[in-house]
């Protein structure tokens, strides 16, 4: 199992619900991006990971770390990527992390953007940015034949052909904490005090499925951590196939590897190897473990 946090981001949960309900219609175009500038803590992360030789790996191809982005679109539509053309931004920063001889891959690109053909006939743009004058983001938008979800720094909206139906989704995406709903007839089942709140969650998170013991434990990466832990433990104990399984992980990651190869060839359109779907549908839990 891959511990991919984006799977449980509020915007992804929202889109997955509406896509399954048919509100998008057919997927036409999706886009997702992971923007994380080096000045926002990446130097420390790379030193922690790489030790004394951190510079050898710090300048790795951004498209070798695509799963925060790719998982958003793929987990909503269920499609996979079949072809890619990718462009890279040649870095010239004074830290010298990117370039021939600067890292293990001789990688010159600090930012990469790829356009993918999808198995359902749609297309998808993925951007992996490590050198950008931006506060940072992990976000997605999805455009369908019947409805669209659009997310940017100014906010998130649900859109249709009728502009009057435009709906702001901002309040639903806020991860401020959600009261625990006890599975009993207790009149105090909705607890709002500090002793009964799933911290760091949005109202879109299915907190009813979490163990009671997770109450009051902070959950990072937009509320995703506790759901990933719960998925992993239940898969190990019950033998269930979890979301973000090995087959999903391959479909999240392999497109980025091929995208980097495309950028090395000046954006040549390349076919993406697909290792297939899992042998059964992943289990999605709606109740707490017994």
Instruction: Give the domain ranges of the chain.
Output: 5-172+241-271
The set of residues, in sequence order, having a beta carbon less than 8 Å from that of 157 and lying 6+ positions away, is 149, 150, 151, 166, 167, 168, 169
* CATH fold for domain 5-172+241-271: Dihydrodipicolinate Reductase; domain 2 (3.30.360)
Q: Does 193 score more than 50 pLDDT?
A: no
What pLDDT band is residue 197 in, cutting at 50, 70 and 90? low
Q: Does 196 score more than 60 pLDDT?
A: no
pLDDT at 181: 55
The set of residues, in sequence order, having a beta carbon less than 8 Å from that of 226 and lying 6+ positions away, is 198, 210, 214, 217, 219
Q: pLDDT tens for residues 55-88?
A: 999 999 999 999 999 999 999 999 999 999 999 9
pLDDT at 180: 61
Cα separation, 199 vs 177, in Å, equals 4
**Average pLDDT for the chain:** 92
Asked if 97 and 78 count as a contact pair (C-beta separation under 8 A), the reply is no
Average pLDDT over residues 191-198: 45
Cα separation, 193 vs 286, in Å, equals 24
Q: Does 184 score more than 90 pLDDT?
A: no
pLDDT at 195: 42
Average pLDDT over residues 264-280: 97
> Edge to edge, what strands does the sheet with 197-198 contain?
190-191, 178-181, 197-198
Asked if 76 and 15 count as a contact pair (C-beta separation under 8 A), the reply is yes
Sign of CA dihedral 96, 98, 103, 106: negative
Q: Does 182 score more than 50 pLDDT?
A: no
What pLDDT band is residue 194 in, cutting at 50, 70 and 90? very low
Three-class secondary structure of residue 31 per DSSP: strand
What is the token pair recorded at 186? 């207790």
What pLDDT band is residue 215 in, cutting at 50, 70 and 90? confident
pLDDT at 216: 85
What is the token pair recorded at 285? 């839990």
């Amino acid at each position: 199992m891959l511990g991919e946090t984006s799977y449980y981001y509020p915007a992804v949960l929202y889109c997955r619900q509406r896509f399954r309900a048919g509100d998008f219609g057919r997927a036409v175009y999706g886009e997702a991006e992971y923007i994380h500038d080096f000045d926002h803590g990446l130097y420390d992360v790379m030193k922690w990971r790489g030790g004394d030789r951190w510079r050898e790996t710090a300048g790795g191809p951004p498209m070798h770390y695509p799963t925060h982005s790719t998982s958003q679109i793929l987990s909503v539509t269920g499609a996979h990527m079949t072809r890619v053309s990718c462009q890279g931004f040649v870095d010239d920063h004074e830290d010298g992390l990117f370039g021939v001889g600067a890292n293990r891959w001789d990688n010159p690109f600090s930012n990469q953007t790829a356009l993918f053909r999808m198995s359902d006939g749609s297309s998808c743009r993925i951007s992996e940015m490590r050198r950008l004058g931006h506060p940072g983001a992990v976000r997605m938008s999805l455009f369908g034949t019947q409805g669209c979800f659009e997310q940017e720094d100014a906010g998130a909206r649900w859109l249709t052909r009728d502009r009057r139906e435009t709906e702001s989704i901002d309040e639903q995406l806020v991860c401020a904490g959600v009261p625990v709903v006890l599975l009993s007839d207790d009149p105090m089942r909705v607890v709002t005090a500090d002793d009964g709140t799933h911290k760091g969650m949005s109202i879109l998170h299915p907190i009813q499925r979490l163990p009671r013991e997770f109450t009051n434990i902070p959950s990072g990466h937009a509320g995703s951590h506790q759901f990933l832990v719960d998925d992993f433990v239940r898969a190990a104990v019950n033998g269930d196939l979890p979301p973000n399984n090995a087959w999903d992980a391959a479909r999240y990651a392999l497109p980025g590897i091929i995208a980097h190869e495309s950028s090395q060839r000046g954006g040549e359109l390349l076919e993406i190897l697909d290792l297939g779907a899992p042998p059964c549908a992943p289990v999605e839990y709606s109740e707490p473990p017994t």
